[in-house]
């Protein structure tokens, strides 16, 4: 790798802390592209877009489809009794957490549970259960509202459910920064390990918002694709004919460990989280800063945190939402900071935009890209937007040699976050 960049001035001052690389020892994935790391990685690298049809409950909306998890029934995995105590986003988080912990070779019955933390991001929390209970109130009266509304609908439901399921007694918290929630959760975990607060942190994002209310709102905002005649081709990041994203659900969690802890137990390390940066646009509740200065600040901060230079970055898993303004703003920022050489991809066409879970899922895919030295494709990229001057990997996965990758995320309200991940 090249020499670290000189300490930046102004808004990009280098953090005074020495670089710290958290070890990624476990990955768990539940996505529309596949449940489990193997299935999800296969689906994403093969560019397999979920098969979807029109949803009857969305018939009157401009968008009548979404991407859901179809190869995993939480009732079978968790049991009916346990499943009823969680909203769907928390169910998906528990399934992903179990896989990540097993992948890390950890045994919750013997670990020091007080030194294990949890940080899980979600934009909306238990929206399906909230919708269900609102219907019960309006249609059948107050007495039919469940007493479980509060514990099942709150944003910390995923973190709480994972803590209960695995017996984690260290710090457990939820992060809600809209579509950057999962990325911020992993960055927060990185900071917790650096500070010495934990030896292990389970971090990422979980979301399930495939509801009539959410999609109706997204239609009103003109954020989702209305390509009803061909929903598999609807999400098309960086394509000239993009018209919005497709809502998806899922969970992506990493097991992060202090490198000393991972080394002491002889853990297999998949990759490292080496840098984190976050910022706020202070521009709009729904639109990103048109100059991309907020996400640029987050990315430059993450690079400085890792002690790396822009020239070190070989791959970017972009936010890439398939919306007109987001794709242009993000691509221009990436070109300005990193040049045109990194291989850029957006995996949302295979998973859907999972909102608060997106950063967790996409960080996990970036870990796998580093490990396998393979960049997943950006599918449906038939007519690349000529204004996007980056090397976007289209149609087919591309093998490449790279030691450093970046994950960027932008969220409603101007919440930006970036992670720098490095090869083990």
Selected catalytic residue, list 190, 319, 404, 415: 319
Our answer to whether residue 353 is catalytic in this structure is: yes
Q: Report H helices in 310-388.
A: 324-338, 348-351, 358-372
Selected catalytic residue, list 63, 179, 235, 404: 179
Q: Which residues are within 8 A (CB) of 165 and not within 5 positions of it... i.e. 6 or more apart?
A: 82, 94, 97, 98
**Residue 316: half-sphere exposure toward Cβ, Cα within 13 Å:** 28
Q: Position of tokens 């995996």?
A: 347
b/e map 14-44, b = 16+ CB within 10 Å: bbeeebbbbbbbbbbbbbbbbbbbebbbebb
Determine the Cα–Cα distance for residues 282 and 258; give it in Å rounded to an integer: 34
Q: Which DSSP symbol is given to 226?
A: -
CB contact at 8 A, 248 and 65: no
Determine the Cα–Cα distance for residues 64 and 66; give it in Å rounded to an integer: 7
Q: How buried is residue 345: exposed, middle or buried, by Cβ count under 10 Å (0-12/13-18/19+)?
A: buried
R_g (Cα) of the chain, nearest Å: 20
Helix-, strand-, coil-residue percentages of the chain, each rounded to 5: 40, 20, 40
Residue in 413, 184, 168 with CA at minimum distance from that of residue 298:
184
**Residue 95: half-sphere exposure toward Cβ, Cα within 13 Å:** 30
Selected catalytic residue, list 124, 258, 353, 415: 353
Determine the Cα–Cα distance for residues 50 and 43; give it in Å rounded to an integer: 9
Beta-bridge mates of residue 216: none
**Residue 254: half-sphere exposure toward Cβ, Cα within 13 Å:** 35
Residue in 257, 277, 280 with CA at minimum distance from that of residue 267:
257
Q: Which amino acids are annotated catalytic? A: 179, 319, 353
């Amino acid at each position: 790798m090249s020499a670290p960049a000189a300490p930046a001035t102004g808004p990009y001052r280098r953090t005074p802390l020495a670089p710290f690389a958290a070890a990624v020892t476990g990955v768990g994935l539940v996505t529309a592209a596949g449940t489990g790391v193997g299935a999800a990685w296969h689906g994403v690298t093969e560019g397999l877009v979920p098969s979807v049809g029109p949803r009857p409950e969305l018939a009157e909306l401009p968008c009548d489809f979404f991407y859901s998890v179809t190869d995993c029934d939480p009732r079978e995995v968790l049991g009916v009794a346990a499943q009823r105590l969680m909203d769907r986003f928390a169910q998906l988080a528990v399934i992903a957490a179990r896989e990540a912990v097993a992948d890390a070779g950890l045994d919750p019955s013997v670990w020091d549970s007080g030194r294990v933390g949890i940080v899980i991001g979600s934009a909306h929390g238990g929206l399906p259960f909230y919708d269900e209970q609102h219907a019960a109130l309006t249609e059948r009266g107050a007495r039919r509202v469940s007493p479980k509304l509060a514990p099942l609908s709150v944003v910390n439901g995923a973190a709480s459910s994972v803590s209960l399921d695995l017996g984690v007694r260290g710090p457990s918290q939820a992060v809600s920064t809209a579509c950057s929630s999962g990325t911020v959760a992993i960055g927060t975990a990185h900071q917790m390990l650096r500070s010495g607060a934990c030896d292990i942190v389970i971090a990422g994002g979980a979301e399930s918002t495939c509801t009539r209310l959410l999609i109706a709102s997204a239609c009103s905002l003109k954020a989702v694709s209305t390509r009803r005649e061909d929903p598999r081709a609807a999400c098309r990041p960086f394509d000239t004919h993009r018209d919005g994203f497709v809502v998806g659900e899922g969970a992506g969690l990493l097991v992060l460990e202090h490198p000393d802890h991972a080394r002491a137990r002889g853990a297999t390390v998949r990759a490292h989280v080496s840098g984190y940066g976050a910022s706020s646009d202070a521009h709009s509740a729904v639109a990103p800063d048109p100059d991309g200065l907020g996400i640029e600040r987050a990315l430059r901060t993450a690079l400085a945190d890792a002690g790396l230079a822009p020239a070190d970055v070989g791959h970017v898993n972009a936010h890439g939402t398939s919306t007109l303004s987001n794709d242009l703003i993000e691509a221009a920022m990436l070109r300005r900071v990193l040049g045109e050489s990194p291989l850029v991809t957006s995996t949302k066409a295979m998973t859907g935009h999972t909102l608060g879970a997106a950063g967790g899922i996409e960080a996990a895919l970036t870990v796998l890209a580093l490990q396998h030295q393979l960049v997943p494709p950006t599918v449906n990229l038939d007519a690349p937007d000529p204004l996007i001057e980056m090397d976007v990997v289209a149609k087919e996965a591309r093998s490449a040699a790279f030691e450093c990758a970046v994950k960027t995320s932008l969220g409603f309200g101007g919440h930006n976050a970036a992670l720098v991940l490095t090869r083990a």
